[in-house]
Amino acid sequence: MKKFLVFLFAVFAMLAAYAAELDGLIDARAELWKMSGQTVMKNYPDLFVWMDQGRTRLRYNVRENRAPLTLFGRRVLEVIIDVKDEKICELNVSVYNRGDAGEIPKKTFDALLDAAENRLAGLAGRENVPQTQNVSVEGSRIRSKVWRTDAYDVVMRWSYTRSVPEFLAIDFFPAGGAPKSLREGLKTTVATSELDKRLINDEDGSRYMTVPMVDQGAKGYCVAATVERILRYYGSNIDQHMIAKLAESDAQRGTNINKIVEVLEGNQVKLGIRYRKLYQYSDLDTYSDFKGMINSYNTIARRMKLKKIDFNDYVYIVDRTKYLSYGALMKSLDFKVFRELRKKDKGDNRDFLEAVKENIDEGIPLCWSTFIFPGVGGSGGSEFGMHMRIITGYNTKTGEIIYSDSWGAEHEKKVMKPEDAWGITVNLIALEPRRRNAK
C-alpha cells in the first residue's frame, strides 16, 4: 500500500499531461445540468461505467481504471455522477479517500485541501464568501465549505482524526440544490409511510425495491457501502467514506460489526433513522460454542456420509491457553452439512423469514451480514469470509430471498433459496426513516 501511495502522488504531475479533464463538465456551469449520462460516456470514453441497470449512476474509480481523470490539474480517485430523467443531477468527486489511496501525511492532505479551496473560490468568484459548516458524529468532526452560485452549489467536505486524513470530496448540485447544512445532509428525508409505494411487484411473484447502487470497489467497505445505499434510499446525502470514518473501517480488514452497530444505535437522531436488530447469530461466541457446533456438525455429516471435522486440528496453544483458528475451521466446513445444522434452529429460521417479509412489505430494505462459503450465493471466491449485503425483497410464490451486493450493475438484483439464505445468516438489521408520516 505504501508503494502504491508513493507512486500515486509522485506521478500526479506527469499524468496530468495525458489525463482526461473533468474540468470540461465543471466549466459548462449551468449547462452541466442539461447534459445526459450518455454525453458523459461519449466525452469520456472508457472512463465511466454505469453502476445500475436503470442507468441512474455513473462511476469512475482510480483503482479499476488505469486511464487518469483530473480536476484542477490533479488526478481524482473517484467520481460519481447521478442522473435523473436522463440529465445529470449531482456530481461527486473524491479528491482523496483513505480507502482507495491509503494514508497520506497531513502536510500532503493540507496541500490538497488548500489547492481545492483556492480553485473553488476562483470558480465561485472571490467575492462569494463560502459558508463554513461542521458536524460531529461519534466523536468525529466532519468539516465543509459551501459556495452557492447561479450555476451550481459546491460543497467541499473533508475530515481527519488525530492528524490522520480520512477524505476530501467536492460535490456539485444544481443551484439551490445543496442541503441547507451539513447536518441536514446526513439525515433521511422520506417518511416510513411513503416506502411501501416504492415496491415493485412482478408477475413471477418477485416483490422488491431498487436501492441506489454503491460500488465498494476492491476494498473491504461492504458495511459502509451497504449503509450508504440504504440511507441514500431514504434521501440522505451521506457516502461510504464518511461512514467508513465513523465505523473505523479498514480497506483490507473491513468493518467490525459491533462498531457499526454502535454508530447506528448512537446516532439515530443525527442520521434520521430508527435502528432495529432483528436477528443475531450468537451460537459461536465462545470456544465451547464452537466445540459444541462441531459435535452437532459431525453427527449430521455422519448421517449424510460426508467428511467429519476434527476440532483439535484447529486448536493451538500459547502460554497454556487454547486458541481456535476460526477462519480455517469455518473454511473446512461443507456448506451442505452446515445448512442442515442451521435448519435445526426452526424457531429462529421462521422468525428470520417472517422478519424479511414484514419489513419488505413495509418497503424497508435490510442490512444482512452473512458468512461467505466458497461457491454459495454467487460468492465466486475460494475463501471463507464475512460480508454485508442488502435484502431488497422476496418472492411471494417461491419464498426466494432477493438481495443485492455493493459490487456494481450486475449485482443489483440476485436471488437465493430461503434455506441457503438462512444457512449463511449472521445478522439482520432494519434501518428505517425516523419520520413516520409524510409532511
pLDDT at 380: 54
Beta strands in 162-223 (DSSP E): 164-174, 200-201, 206-208
Banded model confidence at residue 336, pLDDT cuts 50, 70, 90: very high
In this predicted structure, the answer to whether residue 419 has a pLDDT above a threshold of 50 is yes
pLDDT at 15: 40
Query: pLDDT tens, 152-177?
Result: 999 999 998 878 899 999 999 999 99
Query: pLDDT tens, 318-335?
Result: 998 999 998 899 999 999
Query: pLDDT tens, 38-85?
Result: 999 999 999 999 999 999 999 999 988 768 999 999 999 999 999 999
Mean pLDDT of 276-290: 91
Please list, in sequence order, all residues whose beta carbon lies within 8 angstroms of the beta carbon of residue 364, skipping any fewer than 6 positions away.
192, 195, 430, 431, 432
pLDDT at 378: 63
CA-to-CA distance for 261 and 276, rounded, in angstroms? Answer: 10
Between the alpha carbon of residue 155 and those of residues 21, 85, 167, 239, 410, the distances in Å are 20, 23, 13, 14, 31
Query: pLDDT tens, 232-265?
Result: 999 999 999 999 999 999 988 899 999 999 999 9
Q: Which of 27-31, 64-68, 101-105, 419-423 has the lowest mean pLDDT?
A: 64-68
Extract the C-alpha cell encoding 434: 425516523
Query: pLDDT tens, 285-295?
Result: 889 999 999 99
In this predicted structure, the answer to whether residue 18 has a pLDDT above a threshold of 80 is no
In this predicted structure, the answer to whether residue 339 has a pLDDT above a threshold of 60 is yes
Single-letter residue type at 201: N
Query: pLDDT tens, 103-149?
Result: 999 999 999 999 999 999 999 998 899 999 999 888 788 999 999 99
Helices 222-233 and 257-266, axial angle in degrees (round to 10): 30
Banded model confidence at residue 316, pLDDT cuts 50, 70, 90: very high
pLDDT at 314: 95
Number of neighbours of residue 426 by Cβ within 10 angstroms = 17
Single-letter residue type at 47: L
pLDDT at 382: 61
Give burial (CB, 10 Å; 0-12/13-18/19+) of 439.
Answer: exposed
Residue 361, classed as helix, strand or coil, is: helix
Q: Going from the N-terminus, what domains does the chain have, and what CATH number goes with each?
A: 1-184 (no CATH), 187-283+345-439 (3.90.70.30)
Query: pLDDT tens, 367-398?
Result: 999 999 988 876 656 678 899 999 999 999 99
Compute the mean pLDDT over every residue in the chain, rounded to the nearest whole number.
Answer: 92
Mean pLDDT of 220-234: 97
pLDDT at 381: 60
Residue 209, classed as helix, strand or coil, is: coil
CA-to-CA distance for 211 and 226, rounded, in angstroms? Answer: 10
Number of neighbours of residue 69 by Cβ within 10 angstroms = 22
Query: pLDDT tens, 171-206?
Result: 999 999 999 999 999 999 999 999 999 999 999 999
Beta strands in 63-187 (DSSP E): 69-71, 74-75, 78-84, 87-97, 131-137, 140-148, 152-161, 164-174
